[in-house]
Structure 1
C-alpha cells in the first residue's frame, strides 16, 4: 500500500472519529496528508490540531515547543491507542479508543 493511500486512509478515519465525537476539524487538516498520531485540544469545543505526525518524537516536539497550556488528548490511529506524555522522551499508552 502506497504512502498516499495510507495517508488518505488515516485522514478518513480521523475525520470520521472527529465528526462522531463532536470534535472541531480545522480547515488546515483538509490541505495536507494525514499520519497516525493526532492531537485533540480539550478546549470547548474540543478541536483537532490540523497537523498529524508519523513519529512519536515529532509529537513530543510539538507538545514541548508549540502547544499552549490547553489540555491535550494524544491518539495513535494506527494502534487505536490513547497516549500520554510525562515530560520524558516517549509517549506512554494509557488506554484504547474506538473508531467508527
Structure 2
C-alpha cells in the first residue's frame, strides 16, 4: 500500500492542525484511506504525517497538489516553517528471521 510521508517544522502545532483539518475534504477526494500525525517527543515544533492511498498515482497526485496549492501559499499553510520533506513510499515485506536450529 503506497503512502505519502511528509515531515516539516511548524511554528505552532494548534495553528497547523487547524489548517490541516481544513483540507479534510481534499484528502478524502484524493483517495486518502488512512492518515496519522506524529511528532517527536523532544520537539513540539515538528510534525510527521503519513497518508495512505490505494495507488501510487493517487499519492503522487496529492503530493503535486500540496506543492502547488498548499505549501507555496502562506494563507493555505499557516505555521509551516521551512520546506516540507515529502516522498511517496511503497510497503515492502519484512524479512523473516531464520529459524534457530
Please, what TM-score do these two structures have when normalized by structure 2? 0.32
Q: Determine which structure has more spread, i.e. the larger CA radius of gyration.
A: 2
Higher RCO (CA 8 Å, separation ≥ 6 residues): 2
